[in-house]
Amino acid sequence: MLVYKPITLGPLKLSNRILMGSMHTGLEEANDGFKALAKFYAERAKGGAGLIVTGGISPNRRGALKPGGARLTSRRQVKDHSLITDAVHKEGGKICLQILHGGRYSYHPFNVGPSNIKAAINRFSPRSLSTRGVRKTVRQYSECAVLAKEAGYDGIEIMGSEGYLINQFLVTATNKRTDTYGGSFENRMRFALEIIQSIREKVGKDFAIIFRLSMLDLVNDGSSWSEIEILAKSLENHGVDAINTGIGWHEARIPTIATLVPRGGFAFVTQKLMGSVQIPLITTNRFNTIEACEEALASGCADMVSMARPFLADPEIVNKSKVNSNAVNTCIGCNQACLDHIFKNKIATCLVNPRASHEDKWPRQAKANVIKRVAVVGSGPAGLSATIEAARLGHSVTLFESNAEIGGQFNMAKSIPGKDEFNETLRYFDFKLKQLGVQVKLNTRAEIASLTDYDQIILATGVKPRKWTIPGSDSKEVVSYIDVLKGNVAVGKRVAIIGAGGIGFDVAEFLTHDETSQFLEEWGIDETLAERGGLKEPMPGQSNHHVEIFQRSEGKVGGKLGKTTGWIHRLQLKNKGVITRKCVEYQSFEQGHLTFKESGIEHRIAFDTVVVCAGQTSYAPLLDGLRAKGKSVISIGGALSASKLDAQRAIKEGLEAAYEISPWS
Ligand code: NAP
Ligand code: SF4
């Protein structure tokens, strides 16, 4: 396989072509965070990453992404970084520091930019850098690179994409300067080139420099393709060893890494630059399997592939895939526990691998001191997680599932358009159940009597849909989301969805999905890259249903969806003509008409089908009986509480339960 073929990147000889891409974890700013980061990166180096790039570290205070955000500006910080480089080198890995100046994206009042133009996604306006300020910033980049070398890094990556400072200098939309750093493209790219030149002069030849170049800005007045080519060639001439691909500014209203982006869906962009430079090109975005990386390399899209989130999901993705890719815990592109956490100022971890960033808390090598007979009831995400972790800790585990297949709510989630990655999570769990020798009892409803022989019972019996009761809600037209997603009922043309949570939105997506719609067309991405920024008129698919979503509360409809993905779901449905209604009081559903008040005004609208997505209630029918028998029982996931339940909480509680029942060493 090409993935496992060694490659030379400047002074570095890499054993394979997979780069663990930069990802901020929040540990960079946490107490004792560098110790945790050392463990985090060491696991990934051991797992086979050809080269690792750290999360972005600023070369000065103004460039930090938030107040107190990580920067490398003095000798005192070198010791912290050495913890990381030592740990990675001990595992035979290689690691580069990413230098990132946020420019106008830095979320604090001291931010700066090429011009004082505020970003739509930041409430703080940047101050325009003076010419002296630009030169000082160039110097600070090179000082940061020198410190990185002192800390033992094998090289650096200069973040020149995603709309950060260097990218802001490159395009006229954000650079209105009249000095030698603005105006012509030659002037606009001067900042980037001076940074590289000054770094190369200071660090010498035996230190790798990667530049992350925005090859598709996805914003108006972005770079043109010819400018991108000129910059790439100039970077090569100035001593850059490899070019990584950047796709989309953070303010772009086009999804670039969410689940609905096809795997490797932007590799065509890097491919367009192949041959223009002699140094290795790295492609990126929505690669989550080594097979997809292999395909991109084999079809000549790039020389290397970068993946970031898949290394959170499974630190050993590279090594495991060499032997058996079924063993890989695959990133599903949900963003729920990684990017959403970062935006909430929490430590990034992973929905399918809550151990990520907490390697010390639940060590992989831990084994239970006392082996128990454990029964897990329910094979949804919580039950599956508890099962495989308890079995890995050494317990003898039996999993009870009343249905014919494992998966619980995941079986519905995987049927939602754009969420088929859930199949991978189920494939992984299935593999682990077999690998760990778990006894799986499908089509078996656990009863008190069948559980009395076990030392420990973990109840993961999940949730029941909440009932919706108004006059007429027992009509045949009123159905549950479960029946809709399982295809048990015919859904009419005009549909009302009661409840605007994650499931209400999922059902709306399910009903309005257009099979013929293509990602690039739907979102208006110009594959020919003929226009600046790579934008063209979007062509949303056509829906076969007229859909209206209702909620009783006041807030934004869909406002509680994921921080980094909610906007995509809201925009997608808006583009399909879905109507959203808030401040609703339901009155009746009679003779095919829903009567309700919206902000006090009464409406009576005809609907063929009403789909109830009004949340869930906890379902734990065995709990009291088992406790009465004096059994040791732990409830997790929906069986514990339906409030704020999602797959992330469920999987984490499964892991926690397994460790809770297992004093370990
Ligand atoms: P949810 O997020 O709690 O939403 C329930 C919806 O039902 C709310 O819009 C609520 O709005 C409404 N509702 C509550 N009680 C009602 C009642 N008695 N009558 C009528 N409407 C009522 O629950 P969910 O949509 O079932 O999702 C369950 C969990 O899975 C959530 O944690 C969710 O985040 C997660 N999930 C996430 C995604 C994702 O994309 N990230 C996808 C699917 C599921 P009002 O009270 O304002 O009417
Ligand atoms: Fe991937 Fe979701 Fe895990 Fe993030 S939280 S690494 S997107 S599976």
Q: Among candidates 84, 235, 268, 94, which has minimal Cα distance to 166?
A: 235
d(CA 553, CA 584): 7
In tens, the pLDDT along 583-642 reads 999 999 999 999 999 999 999 999 999 999 999 999 999 999 999 999 999 999 999 999
User: pLDDT tens for residues 462-480?
Assistant: 999 999 999 999 999 999 9
pLDDT of residue 161: 98
Report the helix count and the strand count for the chain, using DSSP H and E. Answer: 22, 27
Q: Is 197 within the bounds of a domain?
A: yes
Among 24, 329, 336, the mutation site with the greatest number of ligand 2 atoms within 8 A of its Cβ is 336
Answer whether residue 375 shows pLDDT above 80.
yes
Residue 207 shares a structural domain with residue 72: yes
448 and 380 co-located in one domain: yes
Is 394 a pocket residue for ligand 1 (Cβ < 6 Å)?
no
**Contact 538 CB / ligand 1 (< 6 Å):** no
pLDDT at 197: 98
Q: Is residue 355 part of a domain?
A: no
Shared-domain flag, residues 241 and 225 = yes
pLDDT at 541 over 90: no
Could you give the maximum distance between any two Cα atoms of the chain, in Å? Answer: 82
CATH code of the domain covering residue 273: 3.20.20.70
Q: Is 548 part of any domain?
A: yes
CA-to-CA dists, residue 597 to 584, 594, 610, angstroms? 6, 10, 16
Structure tokens at 491: 């859904």
Of 343, 364, 387, which closes a domain? Answer: 343
Instruction: Provide mean pLDDT across the span 414-418.
Output: 92
Q: Are residues 325 and 414 in the same domain?
A: no
Res 58: pLDDT: 98
Whether the CB of 498 sits within 6 Å of ligand 1 = yes
pLDDT tens digits, 269-296 = 999 999 999 999 999 999 999 999 999 9
pLDDT digits (tens, 9 = 90+) for 36-52: 999 999 999 999 999 99
Compute the distance from residue 336 Cα to the ligand 2 centre, in Å.
6
What is the average per-residue pLDDT within 443-452? 96
Please give the average per-residue pLDDT across 553-566, as a whole number.
94
pLDDT tens-digit map of 177-202? 999 999 999 999 999 999 999 999 99
Residues 441 and 504 in one domain: no
Pocket of ligand 2 (CB under 6 A): 309, 312-313, 331-338, 350-352
- Encode pLDDT of 114-125 as tens digits: 999 999 999 999
**What does the DSSP assignment read for 363-423?**
-TT--BSS--EEEEE--SHHHHHHHHHHHHTT-EEEEE-SSSSS-TTHHHHTTSTT-TTHH
CB proximity list for 153: less than 8 A, separation 6 or greater: 81, 85, 95, 96, 97
Q: Look at residue 178 in the predicted model and tell me its pLDDT.
A: 98
- Rounded to an integer, the average pLDDT of 456-467 is 97
CATH of residue 642: 3.40.50.720
At 515 the pLDDT is 87
Separation CA 127–CA 148 (nearest Å): 28
pLDDT at 663: 84
Residue among 131, 108, 128 at smallest CA distance from 174: 128
Residue to mutate, 551, 564, 582, ligand 1, most ligand atoms under 8 Å from C-beta: 551
Q: Has residue 255 been placed in a domain?
A: yes
Return the pLDDT at 615. 96
Both 22 and 164 in a single domain? yes
| Residues whose CB falls within 8 Å of the CB of residue 554, separated by 6 or more in sequence, listed in order | 582, 583
359: in domain: no
The catalytic position among 141, 164, 181, 586 is 164
Statement: residue 104 has pLDDT above 80: yes
The average confidence (pLDDT) of the chain is: 96
Asked, for residue 361, whether it belongs to a domain, the answer is no
What pLDDT score was predicted for residue 444? Answer: 97
Q: Is 358 a domain residue? A: no
Question: Do residue 416 and residue 283 come from a single domain?
Answer: no
Same domain, 473 and 460: no
Residues 504 and 432 in one domain: no
> How confident is the model over 477-502, as pLDDT tens digits?
999 999 999 999 999 999 999 999 99
Q: How many residues does the chain have?
A: 665
Rounded to the nearest angstrom, the distance between the alpha carbon of 488 and the centre of ligand 1 is: 21
Percent above pLDDT 70 for the chain:
100
CATH of the domain at 516: 3.50.50.60
What is the span of the domain harbouring residue 301?
A: 2-343
What is the model's pLDDT at position 662? 84
The DSSP bridge partners found for residue 496 are 548, 610
CA of residue 119 relative to chain centroid, distance: 23
Q: How far is the CA of 195 from the centre of ligand 2 (A)?
A: 33
Instruction: Give the model's pLDDT for residue 386.
Output: 98
Q: According to the model, what pLDDT value does residue 9 have?
A: 98
Could you identify the residue written with the tokens 């079995």?
A: 391
Active site includes 4?
A: no
Note whether 493 and 558 are same-domain residues.
Answer: yes
Whether 214 and 162 share a structural domain: yes
Q: Are strands 616-618 and 494-498 parallel, antiparallel or unpaired?
A: unpaired
- Looking at residue 379, its pLDDT comes to 98
Does residue 128 sit in the same domain as residue 165?
yes
Residue located nearest, by CA, to atom 22 of ligand 1? 614
Residue whose structure tokens are 């959170």: 312
Residue 664: its pLDDT value, please?
A: 76
Q: What is the DSSP string of 534-595?
A: GB----PPPPSSEEEEE-SSSS-TTTTS-TTTHHHHHHHHHHTT-EEE-SEEEEEEETTEEE
pLDDT computed for residue 517 by the predictor: 86
Number of folded domains that form the chain: 3
Give domain status of residue 420, yes or no. Answer: yes
CB-CB contact of 77 with 37 (8 Å) = no
Ligand at minimal distance from the CA of 496 is: 1
pLDDT on residue 360: 87
Q: How confident is the model at residue 523 (pLDDT cuts 50, 70, 90)?
A: very high
As a whole number, mean pLDDT of residues 345-352 equals 96
Position 665 confidence tier, pLDDT thresholds 50, 70, 90: confident
d(CA 163, CA 246): 9
The pLDDT tens digits of the residues spanning 210-238 come to 999 999 999 999 999 999 999 999 999 99
